[in-house]
Amino acid sequence: MSGSTPYIQVLDIEQTLTELNEMVSRLRQERDDLEIALTTAVEHGDAIEEQLETANRQLQNEVRERRTIERQLRDLVATITQKSRDLEVVLQTITEHADQIDLHWLQRYIESETSARQDPLTGLANRRMLDEAMEREWSRARRQGQPLAMLMCDVDHFKPYNDRYGHQAGDECLCRLAELFQDLLHREGDLVARYGGEEFVVLLPNTDEIGALRVAQGIQDALRNLDLGHEDTPQGRLTLSIGLAALVPDHDDRSTLLAEVDRRLYLAKQQGRDRIVHAADHNNNSREDINDSGSRADQGNPARP
């Protein structure tokens, strides 16, 4: 039972009372009109008989409508009264038996709901939580006509990293990356999810492509500064390939955005890794100067050197 239901029902009563008052005013007007018609009838006789019949029918309709509304009002009052009594019983029961409530069960339930949406290794959102956020933000962006951006990030040469340093080191590496993402993306609505073994997806509401490119470059800058050693890469350190896309949704198929960032991530891998591929230049291999035309609503952009 929703806590806001009684409040909504009270509003319904107030609205119904307003409608009844308006109806009474109309009835009074109808009465005045009838008095005028009766006075005129003495002078005009049969000439206004049809008008009187019409007025009478209207009055009867008004009366029937009023009776219907009164019946609905009585039913609504009875419902509110019963729900209020039910609420009092529930509150009284909780008050009297609070010590018997299984708070441990409630805690386990909350933990299970959290773990169902959380990657156990990194603590980031998992694919289920990403899907839920994607559905929510896609609908919001479509409704408001705002851009929605996504990054798909993949750790370059991660299998050789595991082979050389061991799986525990690989897990620690992924956790370090998760911390890096969380440090950079603190705007409400932004979401980072572990999408696969060494793949991460970043969802950026209210962000156009230039704003998303600024975020992607901030991620690569931070990873470069972190300088996690990886002897099996040309750079001698851990790097990321990133596919980036942004759009203003105009249809229901939100999988198109995910498919596009996946395609651009594949291009980044093909072109030599350690780069960002986006719509402006699928073959870009250099860092671009980003001006202020990109937007990241309500948040400063990640720092760039």
Contacts of 211 (CB under 8 A, 6+ apart): 149, 204, 246, 294, 295, 296, 301
**Tokens representing residue 197 in the block:** 């073994």
Structure token pair of residue 287: 């860092």
Q: Which residues are catalytic?
A: 198
Query: Mind giving me the DSSP string for the chain?
Result: --TTHHHHHHHHHHHHHHHHHHHHHHHHHHHHHHHHHHHHHHHHGGGGHHHHHHHHHHHHHHHHHHHHHHHHHHHHHHHHHHHHHHHHHHHHHHHHHGGGS-HHHHHHHHHHHHHTTB-TTT-SB-HHHHHHHHHHHHHHHHHHT--EEEEEEEETTHHHHHHHH-HHHHHHHHHHHHHHHHHH--STT-EEEE-SSSEEEEEEETB-HHHHHHHHHHHHHHHHHH--B-TTSTTSB--EEEEEEEE---SS-THHHHHHHHHHHHHHHHTTSSSEEBTTBTT--SPPP--TTS-BTTSPPPP--
Q: Is the dihedral of CA 58, 59, 64, 67 positive or negative?
A: positive
- In the sheet where 240-247 sits, what is the strand order? 191-194, 199-205, 148-155, 240-247, 276-277
